[in-house]
Amino acid sequence: MIKPAHILQVIPTLAAGGISSVVMNWYRNINRDHIQFDFITFNDGPIRQEIEQLGGKIHLIKTFKQSPREHIKSVNTIFSGKKYDAIHVHNSFKNVVMLKLAQNANIPIRVCHSHTSGLEKKSLAPVFSILRYFTHKYSNIHLACGNEAGKFLFGNKPYTVLNNAIDVDRMLNDFIEPADIYKKYDIAKNKRIVALVARFSTVKNHQFLVTLAKEEYLSDDIHFLCVGDGPLKNDLINDITQANLEDKFTLLPANQDIPSILNICDGFIMPSLFEGVSVALLEAQAASLVCVASNTIPPEVDMNLNNLSFLSLEQPAEWVNALNQLAKQKLDDKLIHKRFDDRGYSINSVIMRLETIYKK
């Protein structure tokens, strides 16, 4: 019997979306007889049940910032309790201490994975060069979701791009009946639904949707559906209320029904200030949605399905015009598969590369 390689994945949260979606796409599709994941995370969430069903163990601990002593103690306890073949750190430079502790624990493969192309917290700017130096020093495999994310964290040093592959079949076939989705989430009918699936944080720029909703030339039937959690969610709710725009917005928590939710939408919007390669935007393209995104997002996210436009955040009128022209479409499933395969964003090709990394 083959002894599986034990990999410790370090992700910020067990909420659905973002990095969690990337890793869960791997976990669902990897051969778990050969490779098994455990998880360190700092925030609980709805994907806990699925992880445990797939055989993964979850360690919910404090961040170094929250409590340095507790963080170090917890990490050392985890490392001493089980021999790991690799640790894969996804929120990269924020976990430089964990990478050092992994080195001390003789974990042979220490993966640092960059998923962003900028600093969300500007307070980190004065120490970023130091964090970047030690992140690189204590890890021995350097991955990035795209070239912008790679240059951001690794600079001129070598790194490997590992695409944020998605499970295209899941986006095409894993649906709850539309009527049940409308009812479950109380989503407006007889509207053109424009989704944004993202954490409520500064970089995701939800406030731009309020700006668009205030535009007098925006069609009355455009309705924004925001899915996610995060520190700025209540701020957005307050802004919507103060502007009397409640009839223009529906806000939902992060959940596991994204394929079904996108299936009833007419379009997708992403006004981020910066991104790595957005999983949410990849999933929206696979769902045949007309997508409008800020031109700050790396162009490699475009799957050449002719359903994605990049616009300037300095030109709200262009966004309004694009939304007003929104028309629901359905692309050919074979074409969608081909485009994702051709550009290296199919899950199978990425799983093969991961297996090679973990078994070095």
Per residue in 163-222, pLDDT tens? Answer: 998 999 999 988 899 999 999 999 999 999 999 999 999 999 999 999 999 999 999 999
The pLDDT assigned to 208 comes to 98
Each domain of the chain, given as residue ranges in start order, spans 5-165+346-358, 168-342
Distances (CA, A) of 318 to 43, 158, 181, 214, 268: 38, 39, 31, 14, 15
Arithmetic mean of pLDDT, 100-112: 97
Beta strand extents in the chain (DSSP E only): 5-10, 35-41, 58-60, 86-89, 109-114, 141-144, 160-161, 192-197, 222-227, 249-252, 267-270, 290-294, 308-311
Mind listing the pLDDT tens digit for each residue in 15-58?
888 899 899 999 999 999 999 999 999 999 989 999 999 999 99
The pLDDT assigned to 117 comes to 82
pLDDT of 2 > 80? The answer is no
pLDDT of 122 > 80? The answer is no
Rounded CA gap, 173 and 271, in Å? 27
Report the candidate in 58, 29, 85 with the shortest Cα–Cα distance to residue 357.
85
Tell me the one-letter amino acid at 336. Answer: I
Rounded CA gap, 181 and 190, in Å? 14
We find that the CATH architecture of domain 5-165+346-358 is 3-Layer(aba) Sandwich (3.40)
Arithmetic mean of pLDDT, 312-331: 96
Q: What angle do CA 328, 164, 26 make, to 5 degrees?
A: 110
What's the predicted TM-score (pTM) here?
0.87
Mind listing the pLDDT tens digit for each residue in 213-248?
999 999 999 999 999 999 999 999 999 999 999 999
In sequence order, the 6+-apart residues with CB closer than 8 A to the CB of 1 are none
Both tokens assigned to 235: 């701020």
pLDDT of 124 > 80? The answer is no
The pLDDT assigned to 290 comes to 98
Provide the percentage of residues in the chain whose pLDDT is more than 70: 99
Mind listing the pLDDT tens digit for each residue in 293-311?
999 999 999 999 999 999 9
Residue pair 95/136 in contact by the 8 Å Cβ criterion: no
The pLDDT assigned to 18 comes to 85
Q: Where are the alpha helices (DSSP H) in 15-67?
A: 18-29, 48-53
The pLDDT assigned to 1 comes to 63
Rounded CA gap, 155 and 148, in Å? 10
Provide the percentage of residues in the chain whose pLDDT is more than 90: 85
**Strand-pair partners of 292:** 269, 309
Coil, strand or helix at 297: coil
Query: Bigger pLDDT: 192 or 126?
Result: 192
pLDDT of 120 > 80? The answer is no
What mean pLDDT is reported for the chain? Answer: 94
Per CATH, 5-165+346-358 and 168-342 having the same topology is answered: yes
| CATH top class, domain 168-342 | alpha beta
